[in-house]
Amino acid sequence: MLRIFAVSLLMFGTLLVADEPGSVKLAAPAGWGGETIKLPPGFAPDMKLKGSEHIRFAPGMMKPDSDSFFSYAFAFELEPKPVLTEAVVKDEFLKYYRGLCTAVLNGKIPDVDPSEFTLELRRVKSDAKPFSDEKAADRTMRYTGALDWVEPFATKEPQKLHLEIRTWARNDRNYIFACVSPQTRDTAIWKQLHTIRDDYLKK
């Protein structure tokens, strides 16, 4: 069923055959899938963020009985505008997930209203070291969040996704990195997500 997710992204987004100049390889453990699409994607054309999204899916991404169901990591590599304020991040993520659900369900479950999806973000104190060339105004911002939405691929049922998000600016580009899973943060999948994130941040 992971193929369903990938095909949906290709249908409603634009696959990048090669990474854009300046992009950083997003590595993942063996068995993880991945795609790269342009932003804004076709399923959320009202997003203001422009650039590319690199995604890595856990092996159980589309298996509801798996302990890695709907667990994945992604990096947005973006143009320098808009500035990644908390309000911008929240608004853009809601557009992304609302658009994805709308496109995948395609009216098959009329009772689902994506406009009712909610995303709660909480800014957390950063213990991450700043980049050596980082200005004070551009330092990494960290958030934890919870998205209440309807998972449209495998279950078509309400789901709470936990998110850990980091944003920063570097070399005239904006970046967002997110770890996503419905699993609580004390489960094993988060260790794998953090490894992917930490490897990306080192580059």
Q: Domain count of the chain?
A: 1
Q: pLDDT value at position 10?
A: 47
pLDDT of the residue at 197:
97
- pLDDT for 134 equals 52
Owning domain of residue 72: 2-201
Distance CA 11, CA 22 (A): 26
Residue ranges in the chain whose pLDDT is less than 50: 1, 7, 10-11, 17-19, 137
Within 13 Å, how many C-alpha atoms sit on residue 12's CB side? Answer: 19
